Amino acid sequence: MAIERGNAGLKGPRHTTIRTERLLLRKPRPDDAESIFERYASDPDVTKYVGWPRHTSIEQTRSFLAFSESQWAEWRAGPYLIVSPSTGSLLGSTGLEFETTTRAQTGYVLATDAWGRGYATEALIAMRDLAQTLGVHRLYALCHADHRPSARVLEKGGMTFEGRLRRYAEFPNLGQGQPQDVLCYAAILDFPSGTPEGNTP
């Protein structure tokens, strides 16, 4: 995985672009709104098990991009778009959402024509590697308890099942109006080199 560093931010260099074997992960731009809306954010099949409402207007997508900018302004990484380097086609999104400097959450969403190709696992591994580079100690992800494909992706991405959280989160696109059970997966990452913990034999 190749990480390109952008301009220094409040907490150090920002990692605005990541290249994996088959994917380009990059920071979202304001002019991405239409592509995001059309490719996945407005698709009922794609958004069934996500934790945010399916977009029914481009304004909702622009609100996501404003949120993305706020995350990138505060942290060294944030949301990423998943792009095909060969075609330039938008495939989906992933990212890191920081809770503290050492704890972050990740996830992914892919357009339907990008399903079943291993892209989700590849993007997840990239986020895990990036988190470790940034000194994150705990990286975790949640998925709906009935969404076994996502659970398998998290397992393939090197995350460990920690347990079932009962009535933990709402999934607005399921229309059930009450919190649902989720599965929690996490990766406990090595301490970054150069720290007292990382230098301990």
With beta carbons less than 8 A apart as the criterion, state whether 188 and 197 touch: no
The residues, ordered by sequence, that sit 6+ positions from 37 with a Cβ below 8 Å of its Cβ are 55, 58, 60, 61
Structure tokens at 120: 């989700």
Q: What is the pLDDT of residues 74-122, one digit of tens each?
A: 999 999 999 999 999 999 999 999 999 999 999 999 999 999 999 999 9
Between the alpha carbon of residue 195 and those of residues 95, 104, 190, 199, the distances in Å are 25, 19, 11, 6
Residue 15 half-sphere exposure, CB side, CA atoms within 13 Å?
22
- 146-198 residue pLDDT tens: 999 999 999 999 999 999 999 999 999 998 778 999 999 999 998 555 444 44
Give the confidence band of 7 by pLDDT, cuts at 50, 70, 90.
very low
CA–CA separation, 178 vs 120, rounded Å?
A: 28
pTM of the predicted structure, to 2 decimals: 0.88
3-state secondary structure the chain: CEEECCCEECCEECCCEEECCCCEEECCCHHHHHHHHHHHHCCCCCCCCCCCCCCCCHHHHHHHHHHHHHHHHHCCCCEEEEECCCCCCEEEEEEEEEEECCEEEEEEEECHHHCCCCHHHHHHHHHHHHHHHCCCCEEEEEEECCCHHHHHHHHHCCCEEEEEEEEEECCHHHCCCCCEEEEEEEEECCCCCCCCCCCCC
What is the spatial distance between Cα 55 and Cα 170, in angstroms, rounded to a whole number?
A: 16
Query: Terminus-to-terminus CA distance in the chain, angstroms?
Result: 27
Structural domains in the chain plus CATH codes: 2-188 (3.40.630.30)
> What percent of the chain has a predicted confidence (pLDDT) above 90?
85
Reported as a single tens digit per residue, the pLDDT across 70-79 is 999 999 999 9
Lowest mean pLDDT among 6-10, 53-57, 86-90, 170-174: 6-10
